[in-house]
Amino acid sequence: MKLKIAVLAGDGIGPEIMEQGVAVLSAVADKFGHEVSFQEALVGAHAIDEVGNPFPDETYEACMQADAVLFASVGDPKFDNNPNAKVRPEQGLLAMRKKLGLFANIRPVETFECLIHKSPLKDELVRGADFICIRELTGGMYFGEKREGTDEAYDTNKYTRPEVERILRVAYQYARQRRKHLTVVDKANVLASSRLWRAVAQEMAPEYPDVTTDFMYVDNAAMRMIQEPKFFDVMVTENTFGDILTDEGSCITGSMGLLPSASTGEHTPVFEPIHGSWPQAKGLNIANPLAQILSVAMLYEYFGLAAEGALIREAVNASLDQNVRTPEIQVAGGAQYGTKEVGQWIVDYILQKK
Ligand code: IPM
Ligand code: MN
């Protein structure tokens, strides 16, 4: 297969983990005889510094012309600490989501046996937890009408029926391929927008008789995720709730640095780690590249290349089993591996695999 990849490394640790993601993508392409080309483009704080725009038109064009976007992270403390900043790196990410029509954000919450002790939850609660959160990504408060005055400010949580219906369809498709259990998370006891979500879901449920649909208020879902994470198979929710619940989900697995995601929709799909740009670690060769590398696995799988994805997952699991790990997940007394060394080990594993 021929694949054109737009590479948006962004800020902080982004370029370092991206280097490893690209190396793995290329190694797998060599192994399986795919022809991959890369086009780098600016995004985030980096893009603001260079051209004054966190998602420049050239970057948008590069994304639109690509088959897939591999994205790392954006964000820089110099903007976080300045409430008057006119443009922010995060706006680059939001602009990309909106312009590419990336309405479905797929965030798997998976546990790795060797990292279970890192979870703040008891082993028996978290072992075997395996669900995905489908987060609506281009609607709700993030994009609704806003006012930002000094005495009054608001964000509008608006959803239309077609927006709700299309994300629910994506969720039902995933549920069908998994354990056939869909949980629709809302706040229908208080919010009008949530009642629309619930009404649309109730209308659609009979079209998917093989899937069990249940409804849960978001506050209850936040609690259930730590009390009984194994309850969930596929969860679907609006933009803001999904943002919050997926951070919770990533930390209960004990491995925030290991979780990839995919965002799909109307145009080019984007694959990215769910963690941020960790500016304090920039240039230190300590960031875990595994979420970026697993995002590459999701990219291959998206194009139906299951064996390619499986080989990457196998290599990642082997690296963990053999304690080839970055410092934050290394066992006491274990050898120290940096971002580059972990990436290189995985590349070698892939190339040497018979
Ligand atoms: C995420 C991030 C973003 C979001 C930020 C960086 C704008 O937290 O992808 O979850 O809130 O969506
Ligand atoms: Mn978030």
pLDDT in tens, 210-236: 999 999 999 999 999 999 999 999 999
Report CA(271)–ligand 1 centroid distance (Å): 14
Report CA(125)–ligand 1 centroid distance (Å): 27
Q: How far is CA 79 from the centre of its chain?
A: 23
Is 291 in contact with 273 (CB distance < 8 Å)? yes
Q: What is the pLDDT of residue 83?
A: 75
Q: Whose Cα sits closest to atom 7 in ligand 1? A: 90
Tell which one of 80, 93, 135 to mutate to probe ligand 1, the residue whose CB is within 8 A of the most ligand atoms: 93
In sequence order, the 6+-apart residues with CB closer than 8 A to the CB of 80 are: none
Summarised one tens digit per residue, pLDDT across range 51-103 is 999 999 999 999 999 999 999 999 999 888 777 788 999 999 999 999 999 99
Which SS3 state, helix, strand or coil, does residue 37 take?
A: strand
Mean pLDDT across the stretch 36-62?
A: 96
255 — pLDDT class (breaks 50, 70, 90): confident
Q: What is the pLDDT of residue 80?
A: 80
Q: Smallest Cα–Cα separation from 276: which of 301, 256, 255, 253?
A: 256
Residues with CB under 6 Å of ligand 1 are 90, 93, 243
Residues with CB under 5 A from ligand 2 (ion): 243
Q: Whose Cα sits closest to atom 4 in ligand 1? A: 243
Is 110 in contact with 123 (CB distance < 8 Å)? no
Mean pLDDT across the stretch 249-270?
A: 90
Mean pLDDT across the stretch 95-117?
A: 92
Mean pLDDT across the stretch 174-187?
A: 97
113 — pLDDT class (breaks 50, 70, 90): confident
CA distance 187 to 299: 33
Q: Whose Cα sits closest to atom 11 in ligand 1? A: 243
Q: Whose Cα sits closest to atom 6 in ligand 1? A: 90
Q: Smallest Cα–Cα separation from 236: which of 265, 201, 271, 204?
A: 201
Tell which one of 8, 102, 106, 243 to mutate to probe ligand 1, the residue whose CB is within 8 A of the most ligand atoms: 243
Is 109 in contact with 46 (CB distance < 8 Å)? no
For the ranges 2-6, 248-252, 336-340, the lowest mean pLDDT is seen at 248-252
* Strand 212-217 relative to strand 260-264, pairing: unpaired
Ligand 1 atom closest to Cα of residue 272 = 9
Local structure of residue 206 (DSSP, 8 states): G
Q: Whose Cα sits closest to atom 1 in ligand 1? A: 243
CA distance 165 to 169: 6
254 — pLDDT class (breaks 50, 70, 90): confident
| Residues known to be catalytic | 142, 187, 219, 243, 247
Tell which one of 90, 98, 133 to mutate to probe ligand 1, the residue whose CB is within 8 A of the most ligand atoms: 90
